[in-house]
């Protein structure tokens, strides 16, 4: 019997609902950032690429389309599923076309032409960076070099511990990895976001001239990179309860069968 086949139908439905519920605010925030800042970072098979102007707006449109697609899937009654399925197909098609156009426009922009460029609605806005403007001072120690090494070391220890448990045939051996590693990644990105935010504005004892000049020249690009770091951390933090719930239910199901 496969890993997911051992779950009851209601368990699978709950976990799927949790994953979708976490995805909606992330997709909406990412889409809003594209329109507000006029810049976005997109992950492709070749790595991250920077989008700006129309390409960022199209990527934002794709993200918002996926958010609406997810919401419609979560809150639809059985009798309305055929109509909702048709709308969801249209939303997926819109997201795919917008993403393809964003990549094409990005190629034009990377060739140093002025086509498809434009500013964001409010590139200096900070509301998408909340609560960073109020907590950056407490998060700044996470950006220190020794903290990065310490987090990496703790992650390595947790992985080795889980490998040892797995070889000993302990149920839920990889649960520590699912619970701890996302937290460590979140701490690292929170430190990065706090440093980028404070350094660009010359806050506290930071006097990073390069960061301040880059922010003055292009605040939208700086803010969206800070946004990506912040929301990567938020994403990692929201995966922890999902992964822990997955592991706990798996262990409980196995215990019932044994």
Instruction: Tell me the per-residue pLDDT of 3-50, one tens digit each, with 9 for 90 and over.
Output: 444 445 555 666 667 777 778 889 999 999 999 999 998 888 777 888
| Rounded to 5°, angle at Cα 47 from 42 and 51 | 30
Name the pTM for this structure.
0.81
**Residue 240 or 160, more confident:** 160
Q: Output the pLDDT for position 131.
A: 92
**pLDDT, tens digit, 9 for 90 and up, residues 52-91:** 888 889 999 999 998 888 877 666 655 656 667 777 788 8
Output the average pLDDT for the chain. Answer: 81
């Amino acid at each position: 019997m496969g890993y997911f086949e051992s779950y009851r139908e209601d368990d699978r439905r709950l976990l799927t609902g949790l994953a979708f519920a976490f995805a909606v605010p992330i997709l909406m925030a990412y889409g809003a950032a594209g329109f507000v800042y006029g810049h976005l970072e997109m992950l492709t098979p070749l790595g991250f690429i920077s989008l700006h102007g129309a390409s960022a707006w199209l990527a934002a449109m794709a993200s918002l389309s996926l958010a609406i697609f997810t919401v419609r899937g979560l809150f639809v009654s059985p009798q309305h599923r055929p109509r909702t399925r048709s709308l969801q197909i249209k939303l997926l098609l819109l997201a795919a076309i917008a993403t393809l156009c964003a990549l094409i426009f990005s190629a034009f922009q990377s060739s140093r032409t002025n086509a498809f460029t434009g500013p964001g609605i409010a590139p200096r806005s900070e509301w998408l960076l909340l609560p960073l403007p109020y907590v950056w001072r407490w998060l700044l120690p996470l950006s220190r070099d020794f903290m990065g090494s310490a987090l990496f070391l703790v992650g390595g220890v947790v992985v080795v511990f889980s490998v040892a448990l797995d070889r000993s045939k302990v149920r839920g051996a990889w649960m520590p990895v699912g619970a701890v590693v996302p937290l460590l990644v979140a701490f690292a990105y929170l430190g990065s976001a706090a440093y980028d935010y404070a350094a660009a504005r010359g806050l506290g004892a930071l006097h990073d001239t390069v960061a301040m000049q880059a922010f003055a020249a292009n605040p939208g690009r700086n803010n969206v990179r800070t946004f990506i770091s912040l929301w990567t951390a938020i994403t990692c933090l929201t995966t922890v309860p999902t992964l822990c719930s997955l592991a706990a239910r798996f262990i409980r199901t196995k215990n019932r069968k044994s």
